[in-house]
Amino acid sequence: MINENIIEHALERMMQRGTDLHEIRQVLKEGKEVEARFPRKAKEKVFKYNRNWQGKSYPEKKVKVIYIREDDFLTIITVYVYYGKWGEK
């Protein structure tokens, strides 16, 4: 079992950028690893969205989680959310 800690900065960015704890946990569990500056790690996952964000409609959103893992402890540093289209054409 992995314990997690979400720092205040990540919680603020999560709300500000349009994601939630459920999606963040999905990214950590199912997302693909992407490059991050050591010692940080990163994973991202594309979600179907089909809604408006800040007055514009988007078919998908990509959630990227930056974290540090030490043994069985994960610290979430920040969260990025991108809106657009990444699915297969």
Confidence of residue 88 (pLDDT cuts 50, 70, 90): low
The pTM (predicted TM-score) of the whole model is 0.91
Does 40 have pLDDT greater than 60?
yes
Assess contact for 82 and 61: CB atoms under 8 A. yes
Distance (Å, rounded) from C-alpha 67 to C-alpha 26? Answer: 14
Looking at residue 89, its pLDDT comes to 44
Structural domain contains residue 65:
yes
Query: What is the number of structural domains in the chain?
Result: 1
- Mean pLDDT for the stretch of residues 25-39: 94
Q: What is the pLDDT of residues 51-79, one digit of tens each?
A: 999 999 999 999 999 999 988 899 999 99
Read off the pLDDT of residues 18-29 as tens digits, 9 standing for 90 and up. 999 999 999 999
Classify 17 as helix, strand or coil: helix
pLDDT: is 16 or 2 the higher one?
Answer: 16
What is the extent of the structural domain holding 72? 3-84
